[in-house]
Amino acid sequence: MPAAALLLLLGAVLSGCSAGASAAGHEPWPGEPQRAAASATPSATPTPRRTPPPTATATPRPTPTVPATPTPAGPPAFDKTAHSVDDAASPWVVVNKSRALSPLDFAPGDLVYPDVTYVNRQPMRQGVATALVAMFQAGKREAGLDFSVQSAYRSFDSQTRVYDEDVAQHGQVYADTDTARPGHSEHQTGLAVDISAVPARCSLDACFGQTPQGEWLAANAWRFGFLLRYPADKVAVTGFTFEPWHFRFVGEALAAELHRTGVTTLEEFFSVPGGTEYR
pLDDT at 158: 96
Q: Mind listing the pLDDT tens digit for each residue in 4-29? A: 544 444 454 444 444 444 444 444 44
Which residue in 225, 279, 234 sits closest to 95, CA to CA?
279
Beta strands, E only, 216-271: 226-228, 246-249
pLDDT at 62: 65
Q: Is the pLDDT of residue 111 over 80?
A: yes
Q: Mind listing the pLDDT tens digit for each residue in 134-179? A: 999 999 999 999 999 999 999 999 999 999 999 999 999 999 998 9
Q: Is the pLDDT of residue 204 over 60?
A: yes
pLDDT at 225: 98
74 or 32, higher pLDDT: 74
| Overall average pLDDT of the 83-87 stretch | 98
Q: Mind listing the pLDDT tens digit for each residue in 50-71? A: 655 555 555 667 666 666 666 6
Average pLDDT, the chain: 85
Q: Is the peptide bond before 60 cis (omega within 30 degrees of 0)?
A: no
Q: Mind listing the pLDDT tens digit for each residue in 181-201? A: 999 999 999 999 999 999 999
Q: Is the pLDDT of residue 93 over 90?
A: yes
pLDDT at 18: 47
Q: Mind listing the pLDDT tens digit for each residue in 216-242? A: 999 999 999 999 999 999 999 999 999
pLDDT at 208: 98
Q: Percent of the chain having pLDDT more than 70? A: 73
Beta strands, E only, the chain: 111-112, 124-125, 146-151, 192-198, 226-228, 246-249
User: How far is the C-alpha of 197 from the C-alpha of 164, rounded, in Å?
Assistant: 27
For the chain, what are the domain ranges? 111-270
To the nearest 5 percent, what fractions of the chain are helix, strand and coil? 40, 10, 55
Give the residues across from 194 on adjacent strands.
Answer: 151, 246
CATH topology classification for 111-270: Muramoyl-pentapeptide Carboxypeptidase; domain 2 (3.30.1380)
Q: Is the pLDDT of residue 118 over 90?
A: yes
- Active-site positions? 243
pTM: 0.74
Which residue in 250, 188, 194 sits closest to 217, CA to CA?
194
| Overall average pLDDT of the 77-90 stretch | 96
